[in-house]
Amino acid sequence: MKKFSPLFVFIIILSCTAKSPETEVKTSFTDRELGQLIVVGFRGTEIDSSSKIVKDIKKLNLGGVVLFDYDMQTKKYGRNIVSDDQVLKLASSLVAYSSTPPIISIDQEGGMVSRLKPRYGFPTTVSAEYLGSLDNEDSTRFYARQTAQEFMAVGINTNFAPVLDVNTNPDNPVIAKYERSYSSDPKKVAEHAGYTIDEFDVEGILTVLKHFPGHGSSTKDSHLGVTDVTDTWSRDELIPYEILFQEKNINAVMTAHIYNANIDSVWPATLSSATINGLLRDELGFEGVVFSDDMQMEAIRSEYGLETAIEQALNAGVDILIFGNNLVYEENIAQDAINTIQKLIKEGKVKPETIQNALERVAKLKKDVIEDLCTCLNF
């Protein structure tokens, strides 16, 4: 058999895999490709081949899942979480059924917003507000490290935290009320969020900064309806993002469902190109993955409907659409969302380039951050 030099082989491989400008942008996508842009919630502490979520994972190649301990519809605990051993088994099953490393996510901010609670055998946590008022680096790092190590132990690879909202409104019904902000000082917010990000990075856990461009000044809760911060928001709320984008390797950001006419006089942040493509990407230079907040929150679901919300979010620059399936429960939401994206592409309302860019960012995120922990769960 004729042998070729390593250089010759490299050149041949490169020429076969390189994309020509004419074929660079796809014009259509399979449901399984689009599935990577969807993260959903589901019911169950255990799964098998007959589970709805497993069927969706296999058929649609979902980007991932979000776990909750409390079911808002049934008003019962034990939705996805009852113990550390159970969560590890669930996470391992999710990975085993997935052909692409899945995002396994949760909101574990600490204090009142914690899904991994002591009642399930997890360590006690403290709120961001407590840590900010204590203002001690060692303490913030201790609690962040403890949480990150718990994530490693049970196979959860993504935390929708830390919260970068600045505590500018002490009467805020969704941020201040639940002690979710480190401080009213944006630099202190950045400082303590930075400590948290560091500790999660050590364990290889993805952190998702939220809620861009700032929810701390709101007077209403976007879970319940339209939240207008036009008269209360200030650019100081961007300072934590500006600092952390300069100092850290930030992989992901989550949007807020707030309306801010200072930035966009028509659309709320999650649906606003001026906010995401303009402010976040162009002005602040963020190149990572953008997660929407839960698309089933009333500020989006009741105001815009599924098709308009998805069209606007994707065109605005959102890469991953979250459907928590907890505020409302829609069993077929993953397929409905993908069908909607297919329709929007076919009608020319969402460009193929937009989808391809999102898919490439998600693929890079998974390769850089998600893949390693998922690989560990396969052993």
Tens digit of each residue's pLDDT (9 = 90 or more) over 14-29: 334 344 344 467 899 9
Say what the pLDDT of residue 225 is. Answer: 63
Q: What's the rounded Cα separation, in Å, for the pair 36 and 54?
A: 15
Say what the pLDDT of residue 14 is. Answer: 37
Q: Whose CA is closest to 38, among 306, 333, 372?
A: 333
Tens digit of each residue's pLDDT (9 = 90 or more) over 46-56: 999 999 999 99
Average pLDDT along the chain? 92
Average pLDDT of the segment spanning 283-292: 98
3-state secondary structure of 335: helix
Q: What pTM did the predictor assign?
A: 0.92
Average pLDDT of the segment spanning 275-290: 98
Say what the pLDDT of residue 313 is. Answer: 98
Average pLDDT of the segment spanning 210-228: 84
Say what the pLDDT of residue 17 is. Answer: 38
Task: Pull the structure tokens for residue 14.
Answer: 């490169």
What are the φ and ψ backbone dihedral angles of 22, each rounded to 5 degrees?
-70, -30
Judge whether 287 and 314 are in contact, CB under 8 Å: no
- DSSP state string for 148-192: HHHHHHHT--EE---B------TT-TTTGGGT--S-SSHHHHHHH
Q: Residue 321's beta-bridge partner residues?
A: 38
The model's confidence at residue 222, banded by pLDDT at 50, 70 and 90, is low
Say what the pLDDT of residue 160 is. Answer: 98
Average pLDDT of the segment spanning 187-195: 98
Task: Pull the structure tokens for residue 134.
Answer: 């204590």
**pLDDT surpassing 90 at residue 362:** yes
The model's confidence at residue 122, banded by pLDDT at 50, 70 and 90, is very high
Say what the pLDDT of residue 320 is. Answer: 98
Q: Which distant-in-sequence residues (6+ apart) come within 8 Å of 86 by Cβ? A: 45, 46
The model's confidence at residue 379, banded by pLDDT at 50, 70 and 90, is low
Say what the pLDDT of residue 157 is. Answer: 98
Tens digit of each residue's pLDDT (9 = 90 or more) over 143-171: 999 999 999 999 999 999 999 999 999 99
Say what the pLDDT of residue 145 is. Answer: 98
Say what the pLDDT of residue 299 is. Answer: 83
- Can you name the CATH fold of 39-372? TIM Barrel (3.20.20)
Q: Whose CA is closest to 89, among 106, 72, 104?
A: 104
Q: Count of CB atoms within 10 A of residue 377's CB?
A: 19
Domain boundaries, the chain: 39-372
